[in-house]
Amino acid sequence: MTSTVAEAAGEGAVPVAAPDAKPLAGTLLTLIRREFWEHRYLWVAPLVVAALLLITALVGQVHL
């Protein structure tokens, strides 16, 4: 005797409710925050450059 997979499983697949969908914006925000957390130089490098530009501008304002 041959039987199909559906017959071997019984009555058939029982429908399962899908999990609640998270908003896309919340998911994207979480992913971006994680990238900045794991790769700190994504925000440290621009901060250092801004500090150097500020120091350079302040030194340039000093009249000797």
What pLDDT was estimated at residue 19?
72
CA distances from 58 to 4, 46, 47, 53 (A): 80, 18, 17, 9
pLDDT category of residue 49 using cuts at 50, 70 and 90: very high
Domain ranges of the chain: 40-64
Place of tokens 């450059």: 49
Buried b / exposed e over 18-31, threshold 16 CB at 10 Å, is eeeeeeeeeeeeee
Q: What is the mean pLDDT of residues 48-57?
A: 97
